[in-house]
Each structure stands twice: as structure tokens, then as C-alpha cells.
Amino acid sequence: MISLTSPVETWAHRLPAGAKLLALSLLTVALFLTDRPEVLAAALLAVLALYLSAGATFLRQGAAHLRMLWPFLLLIALWHGLTGQAQAGLAIALRLLAALALANFVTMTTRLTDMIAVLTRLLAPLRRIGLPTRAVELAIAMVLRFTPMLVDNGRRLAMSWRARSPRRPGWRIVMPMAALALDDADHVAEALRARGGIMTETHDRKD
């Protein structure tokens, strides 16, 4: 499994995870409080400045993570252009790109263990009333770790297809990707069962 945390050390790595996640939540909400393209464009430029403050290598890594967004942004622009709502489409695209770029920045500068520690503290009240929270913590950790792996699998499958055929891979790699994802999920399930399952920590706390 692969972590999204950047190996390039930046000033943002030294900030507390809780503060970064709180700022991310507040700024994301703020992005949804306006529909003005100029305001959203300014927000996107501010996020770009954050990436630039971490150096050129960090910026290239962040851009690579966000590259998969371009087809969705293009589809949004085309749809709203055809329906005569170009300004609304521009606002949606800018908001989406700014929010996800900001989230990507936080993820790249925060260790997964620190994120899970913050989540554990936030879910503490639920544990006090007897509700198990280990499954939620594990699910978030797995999403963060498996997402880049799935993207990498898709990239490698596309490269393999191009090496064997002049045609674009398109939908033809969907089934192999699904098979790889199911195989990885099966391995993870076996590893969890070998460690006693996801409820082990909850029972240990009660004991």
C-alpha cells in the first residue's frame, strides 16, 4: 500500500494535524458560500501559492496527484457550456479544483498516523457511550492508502495495453482494474482476520 504523504519535507509538515484538518474544513465550507468565479479563482491562486511555498518538486507531485481531475472538469465545462450556464460551470469547476487541491495539500503534508490520531480523539465521545469506532478509523485509513494504489494500477494497466495495441485502452482496462482491486481487498481481509479482525482493539479497551 502507498501513502499520499510527500517525502519532500516542507514547513507544513511541522504544523499540527488537527490544526490543518480544522483549517481545511473551514476553508472548504467557505468555498461553498460563494458562486462568484473571481473569488473562487483567487482562492485557487492562494492554494497554488501554498504549493509554490513548498518548492518546485512538491508542486510537481501535487499536480500529478490532481491530474485525474481534468476529465471531470472538462465534462463540467462542456455540459454547462451547452446548457447556457457557462458562469455556473466555471464556478463549480474552480470550487472543485480549489477544494481538492487544498485537501491534497493537507494530505501530502500530514502523516496518516497523525490523521488517524485526530480522528480517534474526535470519536472519543462515541466510544464512551459504548459505540465501536475502530471500523470508521480503519475505513478512512484504507481509503487514503488504497486510492493512490488504484490510480497506479490503472496507469500500469494502460501502459501495458499501449505496449500491445495501437488503440486507446479506455473501458477495456476496467475489468482488470476491478480484478486487481478485489484481489487486494481479499489480501487485506486475510491480513485483518490474521490479526483478530477490526473489533480487537475495541474489546481490548473494554477489558
Tracing cell 518538486 back to the chain, one arrives at 57
Q: Where are the domains of the chain?
A: 11-110, 123-206
Tallying the residues shown for the chain, one arrives at 207
Q: What percent of the chain has pLDDT over 90?
A: 27
Residues 116-125 pLDDT 10s: 888 888 878 8
Orientation angle between helical segments 112-122 and 17-31, nearest 10 degrees: 80
Mean pLDDT, rounded, for 108-135: 80
- What is the reported pLDDT for 29? 94
Geometric angle at alpha carbon 94, from 62 and 59, rounded to 5°? 15
| Sign of the torsion angle spanned by Cα atoms 10, 11, 17, 20 | negative
Q: Is the model's pLDDT at 3 over the cut of 50?
A: no
Residues 166-182 pLDDT 10s: 777 777 777 887 888 78
* Global pTM value: 0.68
- What is the reported pLDDT for 2? 39
Q: Is the model's pLDDT at 86 over the cut of 80?
A: yes
Q: Is the model's pLDDT at 69 over the cut of 60?
A: yes
Which letter, b or e, does each residue of 155-174 get, where b requires 16 or more Cβ atoms within 10 Å of its Cβ?
eebbeebeeeeeeebeeebe
- The mean pLDDT of the chain is 81
Which letter, b or e, does each residue of 111-124 get, where b requires 16 or more Cβ atoms within 10 Å of its Cβ?
ebebbbebbeeebe
Q: Is 35 helix (H, G, I), strand (E, B) or coil?
A: coil
Give residues with Cβ within 8 angstroms of 147, minimum separation 6. 4
Mean pLDDT, rounded, for 140-155: 73
- What is the reported pLDDT for 195? 73
- What is the reported pLDDT for 198? 57
Q: What percent of the chain has pLDDT over 70?
A: 90
Q: Is the model's pLDDT at 35 over the cut of 60?
A: yes
